[in-house]
Amino acid sequence: MLRNVLASLLFLAAFQAGVTSGSPHQFPVQVSGGSQTNEGYCPQFAALQPSKHHGLDVALESEYNSPGFLYNAIHALSTVVRVPSASYDGMASVDEDPRWEIFGTLHAELERLFPVVFDTLEVTKVNKYALVFQWKGSDESLKPVLLTAHMDVVPVEPATAGDWIHPPFSGYFDGTWLWGRGSADDKPDVVSILTSITHLLKHDFTPRRTLVVAFGIDEESGGQHGAYENGKYLEERYGTDAFAVLLDEGAPFMELYGGDVIFAMPYTAEKGYFDLKVEISTLGGHSSVPPRHTAIGMLASAVIQLEAHPHETQLLRTGTLFQEVQCAASYGPAVPEKIRKLAKAAVDDDDALAALAEAVLEWNPMAGASLATTQAVDLISGGVKVNALPEKAHFVVNHRIAAHSSVADLQARTAKLLQPVAERYDLSLAAFGKNVTAGSGAGGHLVLSDAFGTALNPAPITPTGHTPVYALVAGTIMAAFESSVEYKNRTAVVQPSFALGTTDTKHYWNLTRNIYRYGHTHMSNYYNGAHTINEASKPKSLVDKIAFHTKFILNWDESDIERF
C-alpha cells in the first residue's frame, strides 16, 4: 500500500520549503501576512493522553524508550521480514495454490514472537491464513475498535534481486536501516499492533471496550482472499456498523508544506477504481485488400476521443481536498499568500472557490489527480499477423474515480463520449451490458465493459471536523507526538487527507463509517519507498508506532462514545 501513499503525497511534495515555524504545538502557525485559520474546516485538538490509565501509559512509555525494547522490536521485525510472504495476482484459492503455504510459516513465527497474545486472545484463522484476534471487553454496550494490517508483501522481481544492497528477505539490520521486502509495507504495523497488546497484557490490562485485530494476506493483490473474508466474518459475527472505528495502514507524517511544521495526514477518503475495456470487432481478411479503416484504426479514434475529453477538476467544499487546502493555508509555512487569502474567502464565496481551484492547479499541476477522475490508457492489443486484417482489437483504460463521482457516472459518460465513434464507423454499440443506439453494425461492433471485474466506487468519506471520533483520533496523534523523544518539541498539525489508491479498508466499509488510514512514522524513516528494490525502514520509528497504537487502544478504552 505504501506505493499508493507515495502517489498521494507526490503532488504535495514540491511544496516543501525552508521556512521556519512557530513554537511547538502553538496554533495557528504564524505566516507572512498574518493570515488567520479556518477553524471550521481544519480544527486542531490538544494532545489527548490517557487519564484513567495514566500510570500504565507512563510505565509503558518508560519501557518503550529502553534499549532492550528497541532490540526486541528489531528482532521481531527482522524475523517476520525473513518470511517471504508474497501475494501474487491471480492466485487460486488457499486450498489449491501452494504459494499460500508460506503464511503458515509466518503464523508460526508470530506465535513464537507473541505467545501471550495467541494464548490470551481469541484467535480465528479466516479462510485458513487470514487472522482475526478478539479481546473481549467488559462493557458490551461499547462498540469494538478494529485495528487492521496485512501480512503479505509484493513479490521480488528475480531479475532485480542482485540489485539490493542486502538480500530482499534478509531482514538485515545495519545499525540504522532494517532491509527487506515488507520492512516498510506493512509488517511494521503487524509487529506494532501485536507488541502493543503484548505489553498491555504483561501489565494485566483488561479492556472495557472489545478490541479486534484483523490481518489480511493479499492486500497487495486486491484482498479478495484475506480482508474480504475477514470483513464477511466480522459482519456476520458483529453486524453492520458494529465498530466504533477502524485504523489501518496509511499515510506517514512529514514537513509537508515547508519549515519545521509536521503534518500528520490520516486518510479519510479514497478514490474509486475502474478498468475500462474498449473492444472493436470486425470482419477479417487479407491485408492486400484492406477496408478504409481497420479495427485498430477505429480503435485509435476511440483512444483519441477519450484523451481529448479529460475529466473536469472540481474543488467542493464538502470534499476532503478542500479540508486539505484549508489546513495547508492555515498552518503551512511555505503556502503562497494568494492561496491563503483565497482559501479563507472560498468558505462562502463561489467565485473565490473557483479561483482557489485554479490557483491550486497553478501552484502544482499534479493536484489535478486529486481534483478529478483520472484516466490512463495502459494496455492495447490487436492483430495476430502482418498480412491479416485484425478481427478484434481492444485497449484498457485505468480510472481512479474522484470522490464526487461514481462507477455509474463514469460508465454513462464513457458511453456518451464513444457513441459518435460508433456512429462514424457504423458500429453497433454495447455499453456495460446494454445496447446503445449508434451505427447499424455493418462496420462491426464496439463493446464497452469492466475489463477485470474490479470496479469500485469511491470510499465513504469518514466524518471529521469537530466530531467526537475525529477529535479522539486527532488528539491521540498529538499525544503520540507530545510523548515522543524525537518529536515532542515540534509543531504538529493533523490534516484529513485523500488517498489516490485503495487499501484493504474497501472490504470493511460495512463495519463502520469511521475509517482512518494512518501510519505513525516520519516519511524519512523509509529508505526507498516500497514495491521496489532496497525497501528498508528505521526500526527506531517502530517504537513511536508502538507507542501510538498503545495510546490509541487506551484512549478508546477510556472513551464512552460510539455505543450500540
Cite the active site residues.
152, 219
CA distance 349 to 355: 10
Does the CA dihedral 513-269-253-149 come out positive or negative? positive
CA distance 166 to 81: 13
CA distance 514 to 552: 14
3-state helix, strand, coil in the chain (%, to 5): 40, 20, 40
Cβ contacts of residue 129 below 8 Å, gap of 6+?
A: 94, 100, 103, 104, 107, 217, 225, 226
Q: Is 157 annotated as a binding residue?
A: no
Contact yes or no for 152/216 (Cβ under 8 A):
yes
Cβ contacts of residue 294 below 8 Å, gap of 6+?
A: 282, 389, 390, 393
**Which grid coordinates belong to 232?**
464477511
User: For residue 527, what are the CA distances in angstroms to 10, 72, 162, 218, 493?
Assistant: 16, 21, 18, 23, 24
Of 432, 395, 438, whose CA–CA distance to 411 is shortest? 432
Q: Is 312 annotated as a binding residue?
A: no
For 470, other C-beta atoms within 10 Å of its C-beta total 22
Strand ranges in 30-72 using DSSP code E only, listed in sequence order: none
Q: Is 391 annotated as a binding residue?
A: no
Side chain identity, residue 220:
E
CA distance 31 to 9: 23
Q: Is 531 annotated as a binding residue?
A: yes
**Which grid coordinates belong to 554?**
487506551
CA distance 16 to 255: 7
**Which grid coordinates belong to 35?**
493570515
CA distance 295 to 259: 55
Which 3 state secondary structure label does DSSP give 484? coil
Of 545, 558, 561, whose CA–CA distance to 264 is shortest? 545
Q: Is 150 annotated as a binding residue?
A: yes
List binding-site positions for Zn(2+). Answer: 150, 185, 220, 248, 531
List binding-site positions. Answer: 150, 185, 220, 248, 531
